[in-house]
Amino acid sequence: MIRKLLVSPQFTNPANHYARYSWPVEFVVRALKEVGWTGFSVNDALTPLANMGQQLFEPPDVNGWELGQGWFSTGGMLARMNFAAALATNQKFNLRDIARGNGRTPEALLSYIMDLLTPPSSSGGTYSALLDYTRAGGSWTGSDAQLATKASGLVHLIVGSGDYQII
Amino acid sequence: MPITRREFVRGGVSAFTVSFAAPAFLSDLARAQGRSRRNLVVLYLSGGNDALSTLIPYNDPQYYARRPTLAVPAANVLQIGSDSAGNALGLNPRLTGLKSIFDSGRLALIQRTGYANSSRSHFQGTDIWSTGDPASPQGTGWLGRYLDLLPSPIDPLSGWSTTRETPRTLMARTVGVPSIPSVPAYAFASPNGGADAQYARESATRISSHVPVDRPHLAFVNATARAAFATLDRVATVGAYTPSVAYPNNGLAQALRTVAGAMAKSIGTRVFWVQTGGYDTHAGQNTNQANGSYAGLMGTLNDGLLAFYTDLQNQGLLGDTLVLQFSEFGRRINENGSQGTDHGAAGLMMAMGGTVRGGIYGTAPNLRAVGDNPTLENSGNDVRYETDFRSVYARVIDAWLGASSTAVLGGDFRAGAPQFL
């Protein structure tokens, strides 16, 4: 059965990759695994999860949660972006530390952060928007302060992007 | 087959970018689309409200015979007169505020609303009331279809759901109605302050502007994000609203306070969705206990609506506001063995506002459980509908929203519509 699944054309067809809306809990767990959770309590995720529309173990009714597009109201999308901001804030100094030696240029820092995360195929316009953000705010020095700001900012933008919500 | 960062960078050639609409443009759009200034607030009592405990036929001996512990004594009801068939009616004792609004002629009570072969399923019943289509209750909602008829481009803030999820009623084909349960939480946070926070918002807005034609899931999420960015600043103004009265500290009243703020700040929203739950009273309904569950529900409803009504009156907004209230079904006539009531059929709709022609519409059921009683169904266990709920919708669409009810509802339901507007 597993072999049949793994060798099926549907399994390897790129059109079927990244074609499912992530549940809030999938989004949160994935972000914690990829960004880090030092000093982050599970309880810190419960209110954001509720804001995204999923109160763990408490579906709205016996029908369960409405899946798919139902997760993505404007308020739910902002809740995801704001969780990404809270997580990036929480991990700011860890991100600075791991970015040292990988942030000689804005391009190098962006490349490093993108390798840290696992975004799916997406538009070139996203890359240019991220690079413009990394460059914004003055000349690049690669200082600790700059790395802390831009590494956390990039994590926020990528984890909060539409691309990251599709799995 | 892992997808690499380089594919992330390289991919998506079949994408285009949506120019981000500036807030000033959207404000103009909101003003143009909201020229009439009329607001519709849909209040959904989730769970199936027991209409016979809200509007009480206190002179019907069968009411007391079939509800030995739940019937409200005649001496306690708030008497409001009789319907056109001569049935004496009274409001639940906790609805003192609504009684005063009724007395001022601004509350319409529409009895026995529903549809043929009423569903007793919460899910199906809610879908039917949301779509206005008992035969095929899928797809867009009746107010979503109304929004689809507005001139394009439609302001994303034309509708506002105060719940976390967008209800089916507001699901539209051309616009994603925002869900904003909390104004303070409806903001874009950043891990950094100052100028970097502004750079982050600009970048996030640019990222959301990409519409990959070969990735419909991503296109939908990005469209939602764009709608969020397009509405942030206007929604934030609602946070500065100072009401003229104190609203109770519960979910319903605070949602109504937010709606009043959105109206007062003229942000362009014309259709609001407010929801309150707890009406699935299978057990311990305790209609006659001051601290009972149903008394609590009525108290929450009464106090919230009275604060809202008074606030709008003080702000000069009452004449532009219509509140339409419904539930997915009424409840059984007989009380059950748990001092509660089970899922029933026809229910009660209410309409409240500064231009509403108040009064009692429709006729109360005769609660005598005999087979040939035309006001009952299901072997005399349930109240049979008299007014098709879609005729009420039609009246709202035609006489309040100024649209075509036949276009929105996909049929002509104007005949027999109660003339409360």
Residue A49: inside a domain = yes
CA distance B151 to chain A (A): 22
Contact A122 B212 (CB under 8 A): yes
The DSSP-derived string for A71-110 is: G--HHHHHHHHHHHHHHHHHTHHHHHHHHTTS-SSHHHHH
State yes or no: pLDDT of B32 exceeds 60. no
How far apart, in whole angstroms, are the C-alpha atoms of residue B313 and residue B304? 14
State yes or no: pLDDT of B163 exceeds 50. yes
Closest CB to B204 among A53, A157, A166: A157
CA distance A19 to chain B (A): 6
Q: Which amino acid is at B93?
A: P
Farthest-apart Cα atoms in chain A, separation: 57
How far apart, in whole angstroms, are the C-alpha atoms of residue B273 and residue B179? 9
> ipTM for the complex?
0.93
Host H or E run for residue B324: strand B321-327
Q: B344: exposed, middle or buried (C-beta count within 10 Å: 0-12, 13-18, 19+)?
A: buried
How far apart, in whole angstroms, are the C-alpha atoms of residue B352 and residue B312? 12
Cβ neighbours of B212 in A, within 8 Å: 122-123
Contact B179 A76 (CB under 8 A): yes
Q: Which two tokens stand for residue B85?
A: 């068939």
State yes or no: pLDDT of B33 exceeds 90. no
How far apart, in whole angstroms, are the C-alpha atoms of residue B96 and residue B306? 9
- For the segment B148-160, what is each residue's pLDDT rounded down to a tens digit? 999 988 888 999 9
Contact A73 B224 (CB under 8 A): yes
Residue A3: inside a domain = no
Q: Which of A55-59, B220-224, B348-352, B410-414 has the lowest average pLDDT? A: A55-59
Q: Which residues 98-157 on chain A approach chain B with CB closer than 8 angstroms?
A: 111, 114-115, 118-127, 129-130, 132-133, 136-137, 149, 152-153, 155-157
How far apart, in whole angstroms, are the C-alpha atoms of residue B240 and residue B265? 9
Q: Cβ distance B146 to B408 under 8 Å? A: yes
State yes or no: pLDDT of B314 exceeds 90. yes
Percent of chain B's residues with pLDDT above 90: 79
pLDDT at B293: 93
Residue in chain B closest to A88 (alpha carbons) equals B191
Which of A11, A58, A73 should we substitute to test contact with B (largest number of B Cβ atoms within 10 Å)? A73
Contact B191 A127 (CB under 8 A): no
Cβ neighbours of B187 in A, within 8 Å: 78, 82
Compute the residue count for chain A.
167
- For the segment B169-207, what is each residue's pLDDT rounded down to a tens digit? 998 888 878 889 889 989 999 999 999 999 999 999 999
- Work out the pLDDT band at A66, boundaries 50, 70, 90: confident
pLDDT, mean of residues B79-101: 98
How far apart, in whole angstroms, are the C-alpha atoms of residue B66 and residue B69? 9
Residue A156: inside a domain = yes
Phi-psi domain of A48 (left: phi exceeds 0; alpha: psi -120 through 50; beta: other): alpha
pLDDT at A125: 81
Cβ neighbours of A61 in B, within 8 Å: 122-123
Contact A74 B156 (CB under 8 A): yes
Q: Cβ distance B385 to B112 under 8 Å? A: yes
State yes or no: pLDDT of A51 exceeds 50. yes
Host H or E run for residue B146: helix B142-148
Q: Cβ distance B204 to B14 under 8 Å? A: no
Angle between helices A124-135 and A144-159 (to 10 degrees): 150
Q: What is the DSSP letter of A166?
A: B
3-state class (DSSP) for residue B134: coil
Residue in chain A closest to B193 (alpha carbons) equals A149
Residue A144: inside a domain = yes
Residue A26 belongs to domain spanning: 20-165
CB count in 10 Å sphere of residue B87 = 18
- A20 to chain B, any CB pair closer than 8 A? The answer is yes
Closest CB to A123 among B12, B176, B202: B12
Q: Which segment, A3-17, A53-67, B277-291, is predicted with the most confidence on average?
A: B277-291
pLDDT, mean of residues B117-128: 94
pLDDT at B212: 81
pLDDT, mean of residues B248-254: 97
Distance from the first to the final alpha carbon of chain A: 23
Residue in chain B closest to A164 (alpha carbons) equals B218
Residue A86: inside a domain = yes
- To the nearest whole number, what is the mean pLDDT of chain B? 91
How far apart, in whole angstroms, are the C-alpha atoms of residue A51 and residue A59? 13
- Work out the pLDDT band at B15, boundaries 50, 70, 90: very low
Which one, of B270, B201, B205, B222, lies nearest residue B33 by Cα?
Answer: B270
pLDDT at A64: 78
State yes or no: pLDDT of A104 exceeds 80. yes
Instruction: Quote the Cα angle for B102-B103-B108, to 5°.
Output: 25
Residues 6+ away with beta carbon under 8 Å from A13: none
pLDDT at B2: 39
- For the segment B340-379, what is each residue's pLDDT rounded down to a tens digit? 999 999 999 999 999 999 999 999 999 999 878 999 999 9
- For the segment B40-69, what is each residue's pLDDT rounded down to a tens digit? 999 999 999 999 999 999 999 999 999 999
Host H or E run for residue B352: strand B347-353
Q: Which residue has the higher pLDDT, B45 or A57?
A: B45
Farthest-apart Cα atoms in chain B, separation: 78
- For the segment B368-393, what is each residue's pLDDT rounded down to a tens digit? 998 789 999 999 999 999 999 999 99
State yes or no: pLDDT of B27 exceeds 60. no
Task: Give the number of domains in chain A.
Answer: 1
Residue A62: inside a domain = yes
How far apart, in whole angstroms, are the C-alpha atoms of residue A91 and residue A87? 6
CB count in 10 Å sphere of residue B38 = 17
CB count in 10 Å sphere of residue B129 = 29
State yes or no: pLDDT of B25 exceeds 80. no
pLDDT at B82: 98
Residue A53: inside a domain = yes
How far apart, in whole angstroms, are the C-alpha atoms of residue B164 and residue B35? 28
Distance of CA B248 to the CA centre of its chain: 19
State yes or no: pLDDT of B31 exceeds 70. no
How far apart, in whole angstroms, are the C-alpha atoms of residue B364 and residue B361? 9
Question: Which CB contacts under 8 angstroms, 24+ apart, belong to B98-103?
Answer: B98/B301, B98/B302, B98/B305, B98/B306, B98/B350, B98/B352, B100/B306, B101/B305, B101/B306, B101/B309, B101/B352, B101/B358, B102/B358
Residue A7: inside a domain = no
pLDDT, mean of residues A62-74: 79
State yes or no: pLDDT of B4 exceeds 50. no
Q: Which two tokens stand for residue A93?
A: 């100094």
Residues 6+ away with beta carbon under 8 Å from A17: A120, A121, B1, B3
Cross-strand bridge partners of residue B82: B88
Cross-strand bridge partners of residue B377: B382
- Work out the pLDDT band at B36, boundaries 50, 70, 90: low
pLDDT, mean of residues A142-149: 96
Percent of chain A's residues with pLDDT above 90: 65
